[in-house]
Amino acid sequence: MPEQDELVHLTIDDHPIAVPKGTLIWAAARQLGIEIPIYCYHPKMEPLGACRMCFVEVERMPKLATACTTVVSEGMVVHTSSSKAQKGRRGTLEFLLINHPLDCPICDKGCECDLQDFTQRYGPGGSRFDVSKRHFPKPISVSEHILLDRERCISCFRCVRFTQDVAMENGLVMEERGYKNVIGVDPNAPFDSIFSGNVVEMCPVGALTSKSFRFTTRPWELKKTPSVCGMCAVGCNVRVDVRVDKVLRQYSRTNDDIDDGWLCDRGRWDVALINSPERLRTPLIRRDGALEPASWDEALRLVAARFGEIRERQGARAIGGIGSTHVTNEEAYLFQKLLRAGLGTNNVDHFHGRFPAAGKNDLPWVWTDSIAGLDGATHIVLLGTETYTRQPIVDLRVRKAIRAGARVWVVTPEPQRLDRLAAGTLRYAAGRTAAVARALLSIVASEGLARSEGEQTRVTAERVAAVAARLAGETPERLAERAGVDVAALRRLAREIAGSAGAVILYDELATRELGGETLAQDVLDLALLTGNFGKPGAGCGPLLGAANSLGARDMGVLPDMLPGYRPVTDPAARAALGGAWNASIPSDAGHDYDAMLSGVVKGLYVLGADPVRHASLEQRARLEALDFLVVQDLVLSETAQLAHVVLPAVAYTERDGTFTNTERRVQVVRAAMQKLPGARGDWEILVAVARALGLSWTYLDPAQILAEIGRIVPIYSGVTRRALGMEGLRWPLSPTEADGKRALAGSPFLTWEMLEQGVSRPASAGAGAGGELVTPSGRSE
């Protein structure tokens, strides 16, 4: 960015400052800690200049300037609180208040209302308005979740610009004109957007309020904790707002790299499970066929005893564990450690855990680039995804890319919300995602579209030949036919990808589980590699994952064949290193995977935060019922828990500390926002207690200690600590670097060829703990 280098010098209220060319006066003042009040301006949207609140006086300008629209210039002298500027702001506030109902005592927004705050700081002491105010019927329900009070509205246009320009969805619009203008919805175009709640958060007054939050509290009674949303794999940064023992909402705390300041409605309001009256408050033990309350002591002793018996009688391979994508890294790590080191089995996996044939010699199946990288993509191909419902904020980021000119292809079996905005859509037969990817790859290979330039010089003839050999006999036509899609359309798409300056190709992790889906991850990776869409920002490929810690569960080795950090259990060096660190011996054979564990090969099963019954076939369900011993650890009595012999009550992500790793490899700190539900315990605490009941000498006092162990043992997490992750997290591979003579931790925004060739998952030496043996430092090719 050459513009960044050009600094412009100005003074604001006598403070000199230099800012990049193009900076708004408002932003420059903010850097100096000088507040300029705004209503219509929102840093994530284009300047509008409508509300006239941000007046400043600029020397040699005849009129007051709006700081939100005026760009700095060299030598500019700005006064933010001259009497002229003050009069301007007073005037605006007086205008805004003449029609305002002034019903602050019963307004949800009280204490977080910009109209209250700015009136106090900049407003007139009284009103000269003694004629009649406008009145409107109120409140009006504008959506399932939101109410509108038109009398409180100050026409800042934030909400309409959000729904129209940012979300690009049916939503709020301005209706009528002039003094009659009101916010409204078209009755025939319902405001049903999953992004709707953002308008409530960004409304500077109490005009838009949430039905669920309405009248439940005064905002100052809320306890606000910075954390990470636990509803999906995007990992938006949130502030959890809690009143006593209820989560009332999540607000954004803006991480530009992930959420860009937005949240989806699921993240914002879907707190039903956390607040559920059905939450378990005590362990349960099955007695005479029925689950009955029991003490923690009794339950833990029983778990240890029954697993001990099974191991004794049937061997460790008769025990297995099904882990969760919802628990923290620390808990996932402890879970597999408990099974491997404590119970002596590699039988540990989770639903969607084993990712079929994920490039044995290449990267594990991760997104090679990042969410923010989408901003710079010229092409985005969404393959078998449902981003709008499964990763909403990624979907919103795709919309941002569309605004910036990216061509988006929605390649899915079913129509998607994004279709309307897409440059192209392709429909194929359900369950045939892998064939579509393979067809694209075979077009690239057979049409000679592979590139070999720049970073891509490593696309060697051999690699192309290897791909061709792998695809031998599978023509684009045959593959397209199998996928039920027009081959000509696929060819157009393949050429676009090959000709793009930066394409991102994403698929949903679910697609790898389709019949024949084993080839998908490798084929998409090769598609990106051959077309030069790898190792640079604004390009890349990978899966979009589903749950808050889908990636973390894998990273932590909740997998039958991989140890933490994707080191194969069959690798003696890796086993030795880990065994040494754990002071245990790790079985050398790969464990049973998820499906196997549900097929009767294990007799004792430990289910942590998962509900396999929900996805189970009748036969699998019968196997679960037939288990000798089933322990389930969960928030509520799930369908699986109803079959359990022991149920251990756990807590939600808002009740304990830890870390999650999102779909773009970012490790982030989750913070306890409220007291644990009485009677329930954090998953990590329960795991420690079970381990101790089994006779292991685990001494972890808090999740930070577990994380520190992860930092020592898991190469891609090398050096990780809570402090190093800070408020915004870091993307793995993490590695300590020397910055200014101090040790710092850096993450990698996108993966490079070098990492690919070494295999991020397989450091040259699997020896854990020694800082000198870390994998590739970041930023090599930036």
Residues that bind another protein (CB under 8 A): 47-53, 55, 62-64, 69, 87-88, 91-92, 94-96, 98-99, 128-129, 131-132, 134, 154-155, 157, 164, 169-171, 173-181, 184-189
Residues of span 197-256 touching ligand FES by CB under 6 A: none
Considering CB distances under 5 to 8 angstroms, the limit depending on partner class, which of ligand FES, another protein, none binds residue 318?
none
Task: Locate 146 and state its tokens.
Answer: 């939101």
Check binding of 51 to ligand FES (CB under 6 A). Answer: yes
Nearer to ligand FES, 157 or 566 (CB): 157
Considering CB distances under 5 to 8 angstroms, the limit depending on partner class, which of another protein, ligand FES, none binds residue 189?
another protein
Of 673, 607, 585, residue with least CA distance to 228: 673
Nearer to ligand FES, 41 or 351 (CB): 41
Check binding of 66 to ligand FES (CB under 6 A). Answer: yes
Considering CB distances under 5 to 8 angstroms, the limit depending on partner class, which of another protein, ligand FES, none binds residue 712?
none
Nearer to another protein, 106 or 131 (CB): 131
Q: In whole angstroms, how close is the CB of 42 to another protein at the nearest point?
A: 15
**Helix 433-446 and helix 520-530: axis angle, to 10°?**
30
Angle at 409 between CA 404 and CA 415, to 5 degrees: 120
Cα(144)–Cα(555) distance, integer angstroms: 38
The gap from C-alpha 416 to its chain's centroid, in whole angstroms, comes to: 20
Q: In whole angstroms, how close is the CB of 70 to ligand FES at the nearest point?
A: 9
Q: Name the strand (E) or helix (H) holding 223.
A: strand 223-228
In this structure, what DSSP letter does residue 70 have?
P
Nearer to another protein, 153 or 334 (CB): 153
Considering CB distances under 5 to 8 angstroms, the limit depending on partner class, which of another protein, ligand FES, none binds residue 179?
another protein
Positive or negative, the Cα torsion across 465, 466, 468, 469?
positive
SS3 of 292, please?
strand
Q: In whole angstroms, how close is the CB of 95 to another protein at the nearest point?
A: 4
Considering CB distances under 5 to 8 angstroms, the limit depending on partner class, which of another protein, ligand FES, none binds residue 41?
ligand FES
Nearer to another protein, 161 or 536 (CB): 161
Of 361, 415, 407, 355, residue with least CA distance to 385: 415
740-749, long-range: CB within 8 Å, 24+ apart, which pairs?
743/719, 745/719, 745/720, 745/721, 746/777, 746/778, 746/779, 747/665, 747/666, 747/667, 747/778, 748/665, 748/776, 748/778, 748/779, 749/369, 749/370, 749/372, 749/373, 749/537, 749/778, 749/782
Q: Which window, 34-42, 255-263, 419-427, 722-730, contacts ligand FES (CB under 6 A)?
A: 34-42
Q: In whole angstroms, how close is the CB of 544 to ligand FES at the nearest point?
A: 36
Considering CB distances under 5 to 8 angstroms, the limit depending on partner class, which of ligand FES, another protein, none binds residue 38?
ligand FES
Check binding of 58 to ligand FES (CB under 6 A). Answer: no
Of 19, 25, 34, 39, the one binding ligand FES (CB under 6 A) is: 39
Angle at 358 between CA 353 and CA 360, to 5 degrees: 125
Q: Taking the chain, what is the end-to-end CA distance rounded to the nearest angstrom?
A: 13
DSSP lists the bridge partners of residue 174 as: 183
Of 674, 568, 730, 635, residue with least CA distance to 327: 635
Nearer to ligand FES, 32 or 637 (CB): 32
Q: In whole angstroms, how close is the CB of 68 to ligand FES at the nearest point?
A: 3
Nearer to another protein, 96 or 694 (CB): 96
Neighbours of 176 (CB within 10 A): 9
Check binding of 40 to ligand FES (CB under 6 A). Answer: yes
Angle at 358 between CA 735 and CA 370, to 5 degrees: 45
Q: Name the strand (E) or helix (H) holding 11.
A: strand 7-12
Check binding of 157 to ligand FES (CB under 6 A). Answer: no
Check binding of 50 to ligand FES (CB under 6 A). Answer: yes
Check binding of 456 to ligand FES (CB under 6 A). Answer: no
Phi, psi of 482 (to 5 degrees): -60, -35
Q: Which window, 8-16, 50-58, 517-525, 666-674, contacts ligand FES (CB under 6 A)?
A: 50-58
Cα(278)–Cα(551) distance, integer angstroms: 29
Check binding of 91 to ligand FES (CB under 6 A). Answer: no
Check binding of 38 to ligand FES (CB under 6 A). Answer: yes
Q: Which window, 38-46, 512-520, 666-674, 677-685, contacts ligand FES (CB under 6 A)?
A: 38-46
Alpha-carbon distances, residue 670 vs 77, 366, 372 (angstroms):
44, 22, 21
Of 49, 91, 579, 767, the one binding ligand FES (CB under 6 A) is: 49
Check binding of 574 to ligand FES (CB under 6 A). Answer: no
Of 411, 447, 443, 449, residue with least CA distance to 430: 411
Q: In whole angstroms, how close is the CB of 256 to another protein at the nearest point?
A: 24
Nearer to another protein, 96 or 551 (CB): 96
Nearer to ligand FES, 183 or 339 (CB): 183
Cα(624)–Cα(616) distance, integer angstroms: 9
Of 54, 168, 363, 544, the one binding ligand FES (CB under 6 A) is: 54
Asked whether the beta carbons of 118 and 204 are under 8 A apart, the reply is no
Of 10, 52, 153, 399, the one binding ligand FES (CB under 6 A) is: 52
769 Rama sector, left if φ>0, alpha if ψ -120 to 50, beta otherwise: left
Q: In whole angstroms, how close is the CB of 569 to ligand FES at the nearest point?
A: 59
Burial of residue 668 (CB within 10 Å: 0-12, 13-18, 19+) is buried
Nearer to another protein, 52 or 656 (CB): 52
Cα(633)–Cα(647) distance, integer angstroms: 6
Q: In whole angstroms, how close is the CB of 179 to ligand FES at the nearest point?
A: 18
Considering CB distances under 5 to 8 angstroms, the limit depending on partner class, which of another protein, ligand FES, none binds residue 132?
another protein
How many residues bind ligand FES (CB under 6 A)? The answer is: 12
Considering CB distances under 5 to 8 angstroms, the limit depending on partner class, which of another protein, ligand FES, none binds residue 99?
another protein
Nearer to another protein, 153 or 632 (CB): 153
Q: In whole angstroms, how close is the CB of 114 to ligand FES at the nearest point?
A: 10
Q: Which residues contact 338 (CB under 8 A, 6 or more apart)?
A: 321, 606, 687, 690, 691, 694, 696
- For ligand FES, the binding residues (CB under 6 A) are 38-41, 49-54, 66, 68
